[in-house]
A and B are shown apart, each in its own frame.
Chain A
Amino acid sequence: MSRRKTRAKVKLTRRDFAKIAATAAGSSLAAYLVTTGPLSPFGDLKRQQLTTEGDSHAATGPHHWGMVIDLNKCIGCEYCQRACSAVNDVAPDKPWNIVVEDSTSNGQKFFFSRPCLHCQNAPCVEVCPVKATYVRDDGLVIMDYDRCIGCRYCEVACPYDARKFNWEPRSEENAFVPTWGVPEVERRPRGVVEKCTFCVQRIDSGLKKGLIPGEAREATPACVNICPVGARVFGDLKNPDSAISRVLERQPTIRLRDELGTDSSVYYIPVSEEA
């Protein structure tokens, strides 16, 4: 029982070493070939991923889509939520765009609304194990519903509660259609996480037609179009002449939880406190 500590004897000849090294090199090569290399059944998918996504993690392209929400103007009518739910065919209990009554620390009531904030340094994008969500080069944080595995880590990581999981297949009729708009995108399947897209379908098709998102209604998010008081301004943050850039120049704005360094694309004009 009182055996002393002895070193495990490993007799390693030069030949053995060569064998081990060759095995290791061979296995890594084989692993590469069958996972992402030319022999892989998934190789095409991988290459497609690399070419379409690039490695931008921020708005490096010519545009950066952003939004300003004026909390002084918002009257809490929830039209934005309804139009959003109709156009994007969102489930009633998991709205992408929320409106809640809120009050400042000295008790003044106001209405607070929140789409996805499209962070340039997005916590949800960082944690996704399969790159099913990513920041496009125009600053939009987009979901790939065909890739999402439904692990819900992004939902846990989002500081703004902007992501919702599809717990069940949907078959219900959308009560907001057609009063508030007609669906422009298909319903997301069971088992994936979904979120606000700034109505990316309108932006992309609008740009193709030569329209300017934020100016042409056809190319602007549904929530911005429907707002009866013009509380939301949408546009290109990179264009100094866009409506949004002019608002940002004139008005003091804040971003939600800026201290987390998320660098979000949605700016709020805070409630002006009455004396």
Chain B
Amino acid sequence: MTTISLRNRQFSVSPGTVAWFGLVGLLLLIGLVSAVIVFKNGLVVTNLTNAVPWGLWITIDLSSIALGAGAFTLSAVVYIFGIDRFRSVIRLAVLVGVIGYTSALLTLVMDIGRPDRFWHPWVYWNVHSVLWEITWCITLYLTIMLVEFAPVIVESRLFKRFPWLRKFGHALHRVAPVLAVAGLLISLLHQSSLGATYGIIKARPIWFKPSMPIMFIVSAIAVGPAVTMAAAFIMEWISGKRTIAHDLLRTIARFSGLGLLVYAYIKFWDLMAVTYYGSTPGSERAFATLNTFTAYGFWFWVGEVFLGIIIPVLMFLVPRFNRRPINLVFGALCAAAGILINRWDVTVSGLVVPVSYSPGTEYVLPPQAYSPALVEWGIALGVIGYIFLLFTLAMRFLPLFETGEEAHAAG
């Protein structure tokens, strides 16, 4: 086996492979063209306005970071709580995390008005700003994940010729527990401050609540590992090789199901507190506006609650469903869709309702609906292409399903 050269393996293409890379290439091309259009003409080509300055791209940022949360959750399970049998999924979880976080950063660079100044948060600090803290945490945590992932990359066949690099990579692996602790702290910080980004805005009554950061982090902890679980199954179906023990993946699914129940519980009391027990003129008017101008109620109940919570909970927790991998993957995809819809609802709904700066009078700013422009969807497709590309390359070239124990022992 070891004598098979790289070239023979790499270029054994089937029609399916060609079609797949064609699709990935097309998605990347669409993304690239959209990016050029945006950089050339500015954000005026989007459908964002001064009334709704954040939209689809922020939704992608928030969602891909939340869906990458499997990395810190499962790392914490293995390195901090010492539950060693999950070690075999760590590498995949970190890969999902790296892909999620880099997607977020790519989209974020598109979204800011001055991409040439993307480095400003590292030089000009505003320690009072949650967005500053998020920028720092995301970049720090991405670095941590890359260090965690470095041993996997250097173990790949591509680096066979550089033993010193491998040695270095394995040396990095020894600090994994330390990184896991740092990663846990940083993740707990920024996964919740993404919610705080909205929760602290006292100008907008449907955002301003302390449950915002909690709902964000609980949903991320619940759904992140499920996405990793789904990725494992899908990779197994594609490669035809059993990679991670199914009962382990089922345990992850059960964990996610329980996490979603906790999320549902907090969401229930949040809903009660905001609408039934604690409705204020501000929030009442906001919800009335939302339901006239958007299908908020539909997306909340069908998208967030039914699709995002009820279906995955049934798939993950009911024994007759969770025995079949296809159900688990289906549940994970539903949960991920639920996260996307939730982040969209939070972002856009809060903005569609205008601020009322002179209460007691009848003048209100006109509410403004928002639906993404073609070029915004183009960037979204480009990000999907990027995600597909990275997964494909990782599957082909990286030893994702070894624990690194052997190498660790040798090095």
Contacts and interface: CB of A to CB of B under 8 A. Distances in A.
Interface of A: 1, 3, 5-8, 10, 16, 20, 23-24, 35-36, 40, 42, 45-46, 49, 94, 100-105, 112, 114, 123, 125-132, 147-153, 155-161, 164-169, 190-193, 256-257, 260
Size range of the chain B interface in the assembly: 35 or more
Contacts of A157: 201, 203
Interface string B173-194: 0110110000000000000000
A125 to B, nearest CB: 8
Given A3-B84, A8-B79, 6 more contacts: A7-B84, A112-B363, A129-B121, A150-B43, A153-B131, A161-B354
Contacts of B354: 161
B357 A105 contact: no
A193 to B, nearest CB: 8
Contact of A123 (B177, B202, B358): B202
Interface in B105-130: 111-114, 117-118, 120-126, 128-130
Interface of B: 41-44, 48, 50, 53-54, 78-79, 82-85, 87, 111-114, 117-118, 120-126, 128-132, 134-135, 174-175, 177-178, 197, 200-203, 245, 247, 351, 354-355, 357-363, 365
Contacts of B200: 127
A165 B50 contact: yes
- What are the 4 closest A-B residue pairs judged by CB atoms, nearest first? A150-B113, A191-B113, A159-B203, A168-B44
29 contacts: A5-B83, A6-B84, A7-B84, A8-B78, A8-B87, A24-B178, A35-B122, A46-B124, A102-B363, A105-B360, A114-B358, A123-B203, A127-B129, A129-B121, A130-B124, A130-B132, A150-B112, A151-B113, A153-B131, A153-B197, A159-B357, A160-B203, A161-B355, A165-B113, A167-B42, A167-B44, A167-B48, A191-B114, A256-B358
B50 A42 contact: no
A112 B358 CA distance: 9
Nearest to A145: B114
Contacts of B111: 151
Given A156-B54, A159-B203, A169-B42, A149 B84 contact: no
Nearest to A4: B85
Contacts of A160: 203, 355, 357
Nearest to A144: B124
A128 B41 CA distance: 25
Contact of A168 (B41, B121, B128, B358): B41
Contacts of B177: 8, 10
Given A156-B201, A168-B44, A169-B42, A112 B118 contact: no
B362 A128 contact: no
Q: Determine chain B's interface SS by DSSP, over half rule.
A: loop
Contacts of B54: 152, 156
Nearest to A3: B85
A179 to B, nearest CB: 26
B112 A155 contact: no
Contacts of A100: 363
B199 to A, nearest CB: 12
B250 to A, nearest CB: 11
B243 to A, nearest CB: 16
A5 B84 contact: yes
Given A147-B117, A156-B351, A114 B42 contact: no
Contacts of A149: 112-114, 117-118, 120-121
B111 to A, nearest CB: 8
B357 A130 contact: no
Contact of A8 (B82, B113, B132, B362): B82
Contacts of A114: 357-358
A168 B54 CA distance: 16
A72 to B, nearest CB: 14
B90 to A, nearest CB: 11
Contact of B247 (A1, A158, A159, A167): A1
B203 A36 contact: no
Contacts of A130: 117, 120-121, 124, 126, 132
B136 to A, nearest CB: 9
Contacts of B351: 156
